[in-house]
A and B are shown apart, each in its own frame.
Chain A
Amino acid sequence: MIDDETKDGVPAPLQEGSKRRPKRRYDDARRSEEVASVRRAIRYELDPEDDDDAEPVREPVIELDNISLAFDEPILKEVSFVAREGETIVVVGESGTGKSTILKLILRLLVPDQGRVSIDGEDISHLSFEEALKVRQKMGMVFQGAALFDSMTVFENIAYPVREHTNLGEDEVEARVREKLEFVDLEPDKVMQQFPSELSGGMRKRVGVARGMANNPEIMLYDEPTSGLDPLTTGTITRLIMKLQRELGVTSVVVSHDIRSAFRMATKVALLSERHIAFFGTPEEMTGSDNTYIRDFLGGT
C-alpha cells in the first residue's frame, strides 16, 4: 500500500543526514513562520477556497519505515507510511490497536524494536535523550485529555514551551500567547489567568492546541482530539485542525476513531488492524474500496 515514493526519500545515516541538510535545524521558529506565510499566500493566490489543491511533489516530513514494536506482546508489525509536507494523515482503527503508540514513536517517547522513524529525513531512532528533546521542538502534540499542567494558569501553560526554548522577553511571550489563543478562538483576556480545572473540555482541548503550536512547529500530532466531546465541539476542533493545516501548512498526524471527522480533515487515511496497516490512501479511495474489512469498518461506524 505504500508506493515507491518511500524509497526516494530514504534518509542517509544519521550523521550524513544532518551534514547534508544543515539548514533544517529545529529551533528555527522564524523560518517556519516565513515558510508558512509564503505558503499561505501562494495557496490563497491559487485557490482561495479549496485546500485540497494539487501541489508539486512535496517532501516527506514523517516517515515510518517497516516499524515493529512489542512489549509483552506485539503491538505494531511492519507498519510503514509517509506524511508529506502539509498533509494530514488520520490513523483510524479499533480501540487498542496501537494507534497512540504511533504518535509516541514519532515523538520518540518510544523506540521501535525494528524499523526506522525519520523526521525531515533524519533517523530519530538512535538519538540520545538530549538530542530527542531537540527533535521534539519541531513537533506540537495535543494529548487526549489535553494534559495541561494543572498547577499553572492557561497563560503559563502556553508560555511554557516559549520560555523553555526561546529567549523572548516577557512582552513578546505574552504577545505570542495572545496570538495563539486568538488562533484557537479563545478570548485571551478571559481565559489567560484561569486554571485548566476551570475550563470546559472543549476549551481545554483548544488551549492544548494553542500550547502545542506555541513554538510554531512544522508537525502537529493529535491523540483522539475529538473523543469525549459533544458533536458541536467535535466540529469546532475538527475545523481548528483543518485551519492549522490550511493557514500554517503544518504536517499533521491525527489518531482518531471518529471516522466522520477523520474523513473531513484527512489528506490520507491509515487504517490500523491486527497490528499492521490494512489500508493507506485518500478518503475517496477508502470509501471506494471493496475490501470486506474496510467495508465492515466503515459500515460499523
Chain B
Amino acid sequence: MTPFLKRLNAAAKGKVLAIQDYFTLAWKALRFTFSRPFYGSDLVQQMDVIGVQSLGIVLLTGFFTGMVLALQSSVQLKTFGATIYIGRLVAGSMIRELGPVLAGLMVAGRVGSGIAAQLGSMKVTEQIDALNTLGTDPIKKLVTPRVLAALLMLPMLTIINDFVGILGGSIIANIYLGLPSSLYWRTVWEQIASGGFTMRYIPNDFIQGLTKPFVFGGLIAVTGCYFGLSTTGGTEGVGISTTRTVVTSSILILVVDYFMTQVLLAFFS
C-alpha cells in the first residue's frame, strides 16, 4: 500500500508542478512583451510562419466545411420547406463555433507541432543553453514572439475561415437549392444581427467568435513552447514532444471551447 501511495503522491506532485510550470511560462511570455530588449524581427517572422503560412490550410478547411454544412442541412431543411434559412444556419455555426475551433485545430496541428519540434531540437542540441550563456533569456527570445504572433494571427485566420465557409455555403445553396445569393447573404446578415449588438455597432456574434481564437492562439503557442522547452532524450524526445503538443492542444481547444461557450452565452444572450 505504502509504495503505491508514494508513487501516486509523486505522480500527482509531478502533474501539479507541470501545470504550475505551464502557467509560469505563459505568464513570463506575456510579461516580457513589455520589457526590453524587443525582438521585433522575430515577432514579424513568427507572424509570417503562424499566420500567413497557415492561410492555405485554413482556406481549404473553411471552404469545405461551409459547403458540407450547407449540403447536409439542405436535406434536413427541405423536409420542413425551410431552405431559406440555410444562410442563417451556416453563418451561425461558422462564426460562433466551427470557424474558431477548426482554425484552432488546424493551426494546432500545423504550427503547434512546428514550434515543439523546433524548440525541442534546439533544446537537445544545447542551443537553448547557448542562448542562456550568450546572455539572452530564451523565453523572451523564443516564447514571447511565438505567443504574441499566435494571439494576433489566430483571430485573423478565423475571420478568413468564417468568410470562406459562408461563401462555400452560398455556392452550395445556389447550386443545389437554387437559392439566389442575394437572399442567402441577407439571411446571413439577419443571423448576425439577431445576436444583438454591443456598443450599437459590434455584433455580439463577432465578439463571441473572436474571443475564442484569441484564447486558442495563446493555448497553442504556450503548449508548443512548453513541450518543446521541456524536451529531453535526444531526437526521440523531440518526436514525443511534438505528439504531446498536438494531442494536448487539440484537447485543450475542445474543452476550453465548451466552457468559454457557456460563459459567453451567459453574457451575450
Q: List chain A positions with a Cβ less than 8 A from chain B.
A: 104, 107, 109, 129, 133-134, 136-137, 139, 141, 143-145, 147-150, 160-161, 164-165, 211
Q: Decide if B137 touches A147 in the complex (CB within 8 Å).
A: no
Bound state CA distance, A211 and B126, in angstroms? 14
Q: Which of B99-107, B127-135, B255-263 is found at the contact surface with chain A? A: B127-135
A215 to chain B, nearest CB (A): 9
- Interface footprint category on B: 10 to 19
User: Which B residues touch A129, using CB under 8 A?
Assistant: 137
Bound state CA distance, A164 and B254, in angstroms? 40
- The answer to the question of B53 belonging to the interface, with a C-beta cut-off of 8 Å to chain A, is no
Q: Decide if B135 touches A145 in the complex (CB within 8 Å).
A: no
List B residues 118-148 near A (Cβ within 8 Å).
122, 125-127, 129-130, 132-137
- Which of B122, B126, B129, B134 is within 8 Å of A164, CB to CB? B134
Bound state CA distance, A111 and B37, in angstroms? 26
A281 to chain B, nearest CB (A): 29
B18 to chain A, nearest CB (A): 17
B211 to chain A, nearest CB (A): 33
User: Which B residues touch A143, using CB under 8 A?
Assistant: 126, 129-130
Q: Decide if A109 touches B129 in the complex (CB within 8 Å).
A: yes
A62 to chain B, nearest CB (A): 15
Q: Decide if A147 touches B125 in the complex (CB within 8 Å).
A: yes
Q: List chain B positions with a Cβ less than 8 A from chain A.
A: 37, 122, 125-127, 129-130, 132-137
User: Which B residues touch A137, using CB under 8 A?
Assistant: 135
Closest 5 CB pairs of A and B: A147-B126, A147-B130, A141-B133, A161-B134, A143-B126
User: Which B residues touch A141, using CB under 8 A?
Assistant: 130, 133
Q: Decide if A134 touches B130 in the complex (CB within 8 Å).
A: no
Q: How many Cβ-Cβ contacts under 8 Å join chain A to chain B?
A: 47
Q: Decide if B135 touches A164 in the complex (CB within 8 Å).
A: yes
Bound state CA distance, A149 and B119, in angstroms? 11
B120 to chain A, nearest CB (A): 13
In the complex, the chain A residue whose C-beta lies closest to that of B132 is A109
User: Which B residues touch A136, using CB under 8 A?
Assistant: 132-135
Q: Decide if B132 touches A149 in the complex (CB within 8 Å).
A: no
Bound state CA distance, A109 and B134, in angstroms? 12
- The A interface is mostly helix, strand or loop, or mixed, namely mixed
User: Which B residues touch A211, using CB under 8 A?
Assistant: 134
Q: Decide if B136 touches A164 in the complex (CB within 8 Å).
A: yes
A142 to chain B, nearest CB (A): 10
Bound state CA distance, A147 and B128, in angstroms? 8
Q: A107-B132, A109-B132, A136-B132 are in contact. Are A145 and B137 (CB under 8 A)?
A: no
A172 to chain B, nearest CB (A): 18
Bound state CA distance, A294 and B37, in angstroms? 50
User: Which B residues touch A149, using CB under 8 A?
Assistant: 122, 127, 130
User: Which A residues touch B132, using CB under 8 A?
Assistant: 107, 109, 133, 136
Q: Decide if B135 touches A147 in the complex (CB within 8 Å).
A: no
Besides A133-B135, A133-B136, A141-B130, 15 new A-B residue pairs in contact (Cβ under 8 A), listed by A number: A104-B129, A109-B132, A129-B137, A133-B132, A136-B134, A141-B133, A143-B130, A144-B126, A147-B125, A149-B130, A150-B125, A150-B127, A160-B134, A164-B135, A164-B136
User: Which A residues touch B127, using CB under 8 A?
Assistant: 147-150
B129 to chain A, nearest CB (A): 6
User: Which A residues touch B126, using CB under 8 A?
Assistant: 143-145, 147
B80 to chain A, nearest CB (A): 57
User: Which B residues touch A150, using CB under 8 A?
Assistant: 125, 127
User: Which A residues touch B130, using CB under 8 A?
Assistant: 141, 143, 147-149
Bound state CA distance, A77 and B49, in angstroms? 47
Bound state CA distance, A137 and B125, in angstroms? 21
- Which of B37, B125, B133, B136 is within 8 Å of A109, CB to CB? B133
A49 to chain B, nearest CB (A): 34
User: Which A residues touch B134, using CB under 8 A?
Assistant: 136, 160-161, 164, 211
Q: What are 9 A-B residue pairs whose CB atoms fall within 8 Å in the complex? A: A109-B133, A133-B136, A134-B135, A136-B132, A136-B135, A141-B130, A147-B127, A149-B130, A161-B135
